[in-house]
Every structure is written in structure tokens, then in C-alpha cells.
Amino acid sequence: MVFLSELLGAEVVDVGQRRAGRVRDVTVTPIEPYPLVTGIVTSRRQALVVPWSEVRTFAAREVALRVPREEVSPLPANPDDIWLARDVLDKQVIDTDGRRVVRVNDLQLVESGGRMLLVAADIGMRGLLRRLGLEVVGKRVARLVGRDLPIVLVSWDAVQSLSDRSQDAVRLRISAQRIGKLHPADIADIVEELSAKQRSAIFESLTDEVAADTLEEMEPEEQVSVIEHMDSERASEILEEMPPDEVADILADLPEARAHEILGLMEKDEADDVRELLAFPEDTAGGMMTTEYVAVSVGLTAQECIDALRVLEPEAESIYYVYVVDEEEHLRGVLSLRDLIVANPNTPITEFMRREIVSVPLEASAEEVAAVLTKYNLLAVPAVDDEGRLRGIVTVDDALDRVLPEGVKRRLPRVR
Amino acid sequence: MLGRLRRFRRLWILLAVIGPGLITSNADNDAGGIATYSQAGAQFGYKLLWVLVLVTISLIVVNEMSARLGVITGKGLADLIRERFGVRSTTLAMLLLLVANATTTVAEFAGVAAGMELLGLSRLLSVPVAAVVIWLLVVRGSYPVVERVLLSIGVVYVTYVVSGFLIRPDWTEVLRASVVPQVVPIRDYWLLAIAVTGTTITPWMQFYLQAAIAEKGIPNDRLAYSRLDVILGSLVTDFIAFFIIVATAAVLFGHIRPDLLGNLGAADYARALAPVAGPFATLLFAVGLVGASILAGCVVPLSTAYAVTEAFGWERGVDRGISEAPAFFLIFTGLIVIGALAVILPGLPLVRVILLSQDVNGLILPAILIYMLVLINDRRLMGRFTNGPVANLVAGVTVVALITLTLLLLAASIPGSPLTG
């Protein structure tokens, strides 16, 4: 086991103990899960690499070659290889185990079956002190105050590299996308710590579904910034996976031409829903509502209604209430899932649906909507137009988001 | 299209990009700036104007470099230094930044103390209160709201421009002094020349400006807007600086006994506003000084804490809390405590302390500029956006000039040397 910092600057000696240069960098080829060391860079400027096959021992302070220095055949660097000191050391990476952004203070290499592998990143204080040549001092000081100075490592199979250069982004895509396996809420937390360019690189690597879920978990300003930095084609694909009310909120904050372009690229049905929502001012029931709700026709029986739900496969968020509407979309009643399940399958739903419906007009303010939701203990409230037609629902979380003062939201504990 | 979109502003792109440059430059005319420019005018008349004109050129070039680094890399300066130069050079850069910014924070508190003393309030009261207020403003997250209030207080300094015209200085002399170098080869002159440079192009500003621009995530094709932002900001800053020197020179230079020049106080500087504000000159000056000092007193410790934690990869951000981001809070709080404690001693000559802090900034600036020059000429990092020959020349000359000034200062400080005044 050896740390990269101990190797950098080490003397390279040939089989006859004669000097053959210094270690300027170490190259690896990005294979999973642990990158394989391919050679030693002896001249950064000329990008000359001594292949790993010519190295006999590989230890701190000295790297011994198998051959006399006259027979060393440095090769031009392989453009696909990663240079550890240049490309990884000191850079920010994501620790997907700890779900945070960290900086690589050092890298740990381990020999295994004649091969040298990059196994871990040192992200702790001890790695920093080692780089400063103060590791021993640091350990002594720590001992004086009765603490030890642990080496904090992140296994390389939990490291997600970051990049902000397009040529690197291609290379990184070859390596596994570890961040895509995290919960979208965690991905959102992590990417909010990144620069706009790194963030774009991460989003580029996520699938449309994961990208959409992640975007939903982010703060409104951050959502806009992510979409802004994306090409419109990709943005439209991601937005199609999101509920129309959220899409409308994001598009409303984009420059108009850009919003039009993205809407034009989205599927027509989705785009129409969004256009409808965009017509309402942001802080009204119309602006807050989503058009993803479950509405069934007034003439169904309980069993037909359940069958209809199976076909619709509604999102979890919108299935709290099943709304009953007539042919003109007038809101006639509301059912809970419980009502449906306990009812006799052949009973018409009109016989057990609740007719005294609480609803809000489209123009209702955020405060009014929140007041209705709390007063009647609802998870969502339908929004209806002047003629009593159902246009959407406002869920309690969206309403809460609008009425909670910024200060309160900030003081909520961070959930890790 | 529809209601919500139509509300959106035509100038959307410009507004999204504009900001960091103008805000930074406004914060740049802080306690250090006001004291330095006032002293320059009072002690040497127009003889430092040519320095300010040259410094403006390098301010524009250096700020443009910051903007370009921020837009193209999307990263802060501390981040880039760490990634490009490794741990050792980063530690050196961060130690220099800490020293420069600690002295700047001291200057901001001295500005608060001096301003409040003009209003008859003891520094024993004003400084601790200011320290607590600054800490709470930032930690409670109410800083962005207050920033606007503080920035608008900065408008007070436009009165210098009015004052400068009302005094009717000899404009041919002013113009001549702006382009024809006049040197007074004494120690105080070198000190002030370094201070004028160090207060106009401050190390902290390069970190703050680049971080603010990087945070906005401005796409490469909008670099032009960002350039416009910082160039306008630089011009506004130095336009006001120019008139501070002109107004104080016209009012004070030659009207004060030479042996008192070294011990001028805030009350003397305030007289430069008398032509416009009459009996309210002191009040106006004090309000402006306190507002600017508190603004910079928030920005400098905060941006230092961000820079250092970013460089070393430690947790950061005020919303993280002390337990999650201890280093961040330690640096931020530590700078405020140092700044407040340093000026609380009764009888401490506040203006001297402020001027000295600007010299420390001037001495450290070349090192920071060298880091920036290496970074911005790195083709791997900047691609086709590396520095052109003109930018390299101006920035290089600034570095060499500052080092030369420092050597001249050292030579003038040796007793019996021919340069001693």
C-alpha cells in the first residue's frame, strides 16, 4: 500500500541503481471497480510514460525498474488514461457513501496479484498534513491532546468523479455512474453544492427519469439554473417526466424565447397542460395547481371505477382523492380509495360519493388555499373555474411551500 | 405567450449576469478606500492622481481576468489555486489571504469606530455592537436583504463628485496631475502609493468577485455581459475615488500645517464634503463611512471563510450550522473578533490603522496576481480564453510596480538612506 503523495517526486532508478528520472505523475486506465495503474510519467511536458510492465518495485521514495535505463522505452501517453496528480488529486469528487462533495487530499494505491490498483481517496486532515510533510507532527500534536488522527478514506468504488471539461465528461461517462444509484433527494442535496458546470455534467449522465426526480427535489432557483444550462432538447425530455405544475413554475422563470422553444419540443399533451397552467399568476390556486389528478365519469359503478384507476395508473401523489365529474367536467363529487374498496362492486359511485365538496376558485390566493386545506384537513383541494369545472388540484405540500416564510424553511433541520 | 411569461423582463439575460462587478466595486470603496484616498489628497494634493489613473487601468484588467476565470471555469479562485498548485502553494495563498483579510477587517471596524466617534459614540460601544450585528446579519441569513440597504448608503459618496465640482478646483492642474507623474520621494509617499494600489485592487476582491461570478454559472457565450459588468464597476469605483482625492486635495492640501498631516482624523476628511453639505458634512461622511464599513465587514470575513474552506474541501455555508461546518464558522467569527478587538483599544489612531492595513493588502497583492496570471494563461484550463499579450503586460507591470514600490518603501525606511524624506 502506498500513497500517491509519497510517490510523486520519487527517484526512478534502473536495474543498476542508476537514476532514470523522477515520478511526475502516475497514469491509470479507468476500469471498474478499481482503476489499474498503467505507467509512470517522467516528463509532464513531453507526456512520456514508462509502462508499468517495466517497473519492478513501486514504493515510496524509490521506483525500481527491471531494465537498464538505456532500454527504458517511454511511450507517448495514452489519451484515454487518467493522470492521477493532474486529473484527480486536489479535485472535488462525490463520496456516494457519505453523500457529500469532498476534496481528494491523497490517493491510495494497493498492489494485488502483480497489478497496482487505485483503491481509495484520502479525504481527511491527515491526507492534507501528509501533503504538507507534517503528518508526523500532526500525529504528535493529536496525541498530546489525547486524540488520534485517523486516515479518512473513501473506497474508489464509492467515488463519483466530477468534471467540467467536455473532453473529460466523455471519459467519465465510460466509468460507472455511481451517483445515479442514489435517492433523488440525496442527488439533489449533492448537486446543489456543485458549480453550475459540474452540475450540468452530472445531469448529462443521469437518465431522464432520475434527472426529473432529482430536479423535483431541488430549490426553485436551482431548478431554473439547471434547465438554463441544458440544451433545449434534453430539457424537454426531462421536463416531460415531471408534473405539469412544476414544469410551469420552472418555465415561468426562464427567458420567454427559451420557454417557448422547450415547450415546442415537448409532447403536445404535456405541453398543452403546461401552457394552461402558465396562464395563471404564480401565487394563485391556478398557478399552484397540478393537472395530474384522478377524475372519473359520474356514471360508473365502484368496480368500473377501480378498473379505470388500474388503467390510469395515477402517480402516488394524486391518488388521495378520486374526483367525479360529468361530461362537461363539472365537479360532482369526491371519493376516497377507502370508499371505493369497501363499496359493493356493483353500486353506482353516485350512491356513496360525497357531494359536499370543498373547492377553491382558480383566483384564490396561496393563503386562502392553505387556510382551506388546514381547516378541512385535506391533502389536496380541487380548483374549479367560474362554471364549476374541475381544472386541477392543489396539494398540501405545494401550498405549504408558498405560504411558509423563507426564514422558517431555512431553519428546518437538514435531513441527512 | 401567457400571463406569467409576459411578465418577464426584456433585459433578462443582462440582469442575470450583471451584478457581481457593480456590487464588488461598491464594496471596494470601504473604510480603507475612503481613508486612503482622503489621506492621499490631503497630504500630497493631486500628486497621487496619476497613480490612481494607472491603477484604474490595472483594476479593469485584473477584474476582467477574475470575471473570465469565473465564467470559463465556473469555479472560485481558491478552488482553482488548489486544483492547479496543490496543497503547499494553496496553504501559502490562504495564509496570505487570511493576513490580508484580517487587516482589512480591522480596517472596517476602525471605519465603524471612526464614523461613530464623529457622531459622538464611543468605540467601546459601537465596535462590539457592530461585531454582533455583522455576525448575526450573516449567520441569520438576512445579509442579502441588508446588502441592498448598505449598497444604497454607498450612494452617499456621489456627494464627493458634487463637492469636487462645487469647490472649483484648477481643472487644468487636475488633468495634468492625472497624466504627468509627480513623485515626492519620501517614505509617506511610497506608503500611500502602495496603499492606493492595495485598496483599489484588493486581494479579497479577486476571491469574492470570481466566486460571485462562478456562482451565477454564466455560460461562456455571455462572457461579454460579465465583462461589461466588471468594467463598469471598476470605472464607477475609481470615478468616485478620483473625486475623493480631488475634493480632499482642494479643501485640505496646503491648508493644514505639514507636521499635522500624519495625524489627520476622520473629522478632517469629512471637511471635503463641506462645500456640498455645509454643517451636515460630518454627519454625511460618518453615515457613509459606517455603512460602507459594515457592508465590507460582512463581505470580507464571509468570503474569506468560503475561500479557505473551499480550498481545503471543508464543509461550508452559513446554513450548515457550527457543528457541521466548524472551520467555516471559526474563520468567519475569528476574523470578526480579531477585527473588533484590534480597534477597541482607546486612543488607537484609527486612521493610521486603516492606512496601514491597505499597505498590507498592497504588499500581498502581487502574490495573488501571480497565482491568477499562471491560472489564466493555462491553456488546459482556459482553452481559447487565455490572456492576450496586453492583459499579461498590464497585470505583469502591476506586479513589478508593486514589488518595486515595496522595495522603495523599504529603502526609504532605512535611516540615513538617500531616499528617506
Find the residue in A nearest to B218 (Cα): A196
CATH architecture of B31-413: Up-down Bundle (1.20)
CATH architecture of A294-402: Roll (3.10)
The C-alpha cell at A193 is 453544492
The model's pLDDT over A134-187, given as tens digits with 9 standing for 90+, comes to 999 998 998 998 888 888 999 988 888 776 554 454 455 445 567 888 889 888
At B318 the pLDDT is 80
Minimum distance, in Å, between the CA of residue A259 and any CA atom of chain B: 8
* Whole-number Å distance between alpha carbons of A379 and A106: 50
Which has the closest alpha carbon to A216: A277, A206, A321, A366? Answer: A206
Minimum distance, in Å, between the CA of residue A91 and any CA atom of chain B: 6
Compute mean pLDDT per 10 residues along chain B, 421 residues long, and list them.
Answer: 40 54 72 92 94 94 93 92 94 95 95 93 93 90 70 78 88 94 88 90 91 82 87 90 93 82 83 85 90 89 93 86 91 96 86 88 92 94 91 92 84 62 43
- Of B4, B83, B320, nearest to A282 by CB-CB distance is B4
The model's pLDDT over A47-90, given as tens digits with 9 standing for 90+, comes to 778 888 888 887 767 888 888 888 887 788 788 888 899 889 99
For chain B, list residues whose CB is within 8 angstroms of any CB belonging to chain A.
1-6, 8, 12-13, 73-75, 79, 82-83, 86-88, 90-91, 141, 214-217, 219, 312-313, 315, 319-321, 324
Find the residue in B nearest to A134 (Cα): B88
**Number of other CB atoms surrounding residue A80 within 10 Å:** 12
Find the residue in B nearest to A195 (Cα): B74
A65 touches chain B (CB under 8 A): no
Global pTM value: 0.81
* Whole-number Å distance between alpha carbons of B63 and B25: 10
Instruction: Pick the residue of A195, A218, A262, A289 with the most B CBs within 10 A to test the interface with B by mutation.
Output: A195
At B242 the pLDDT is 95
At A74 the pLDDT is 77
- A81-107 mean pLDDT: 89
> Across the interface, do B5 and A259 touch by the CB < 8 Å criterion?
yes
**CATH number given to A179-279:** 1.25.60.10
- Chain A partners within 8 Å of B86 (Cβ): 89-90, 131
The C-alpha cell at A145 is 491532546
Strand A11-13, strand A153-155: pairing: unpaired
Residue A186 contacts by C-beta under 8 Å, 6 or more apart in sequence?
A99
A40 touches chain B (CB under 8 A): no
> Across the interface, do A131 and B219 touch by the CB < 8 Å criterion?
no
Question: Domain limits of chain B?
Answer: 31-413
A293-307, A319-333, B142-156, B400-414: range with lowest mean pLDDT: B142-156
Superfamily in which the A2-85 domain is placed by CATH: PRC-barrel domain (2.30.30.240)
Q: What is the mean pLDDT of chain A?
A: 84
- A354-358 mean pLDDT: 87
At A166 the pLDDT is 46
Minimum distance, in Å, between the CA of residue B238 and any CA atom of chain A: 31
Q: Is A330 helix (H, G, I), strand (E, B) or coil?
A: strand
- Selected residue with higher pLDDT from A16 and A74: A16
Minimum distance, in Å, between the CA of residue A56 and any CA atom of chain B: 29
At B365 the pLDDT is 92
- Selected residue with higher pLDDT from B263 and A331: A331
- Of B1, B312, B319, nearest to A260 by CB-CB distance is B1
Residue A241 has pLDDT above 60, yes or no: yes
Minimum distance, in Å, between the CA of residue A226 and any CA atom of chain B: 9
- Selected residue with higher pLDDT from B396 and A220: B396
- Selected residue with higher pLDDT from A273 and B5: A273
At B421 the pLDDT is 43
At A416 the pLDDT is 46
Q: Residue A172: which H helix or E strand, with range?
A: helix A166-174
Minimum distance, in Å, between the CA of residue A355 and any CA atom of chain B: 34
- Chain B partners within 8 Å of A128 (Cβ): 87, 312
The C-alpha cell at B43 is 497630504
Residue A348 has pLDDT above 80, yes or no: yes
> Across the interface, do B5 and A225 touch by the CB < 8 Å criterion?
no
* Whole-number Å distance between alpha carbons of B18 and B26: 14
The C-alpha cell at A400 is 405549504
- Selected residue with higher pLDDT from A260 and A291: A260
Distances (CA, A) of A170 to A12, A175, A204, B265: 33, 9, 10, 61
Find the residue in B nearest to A8 (Cα): B86
Distance of CA B153 to the CA centre of its chain: 16
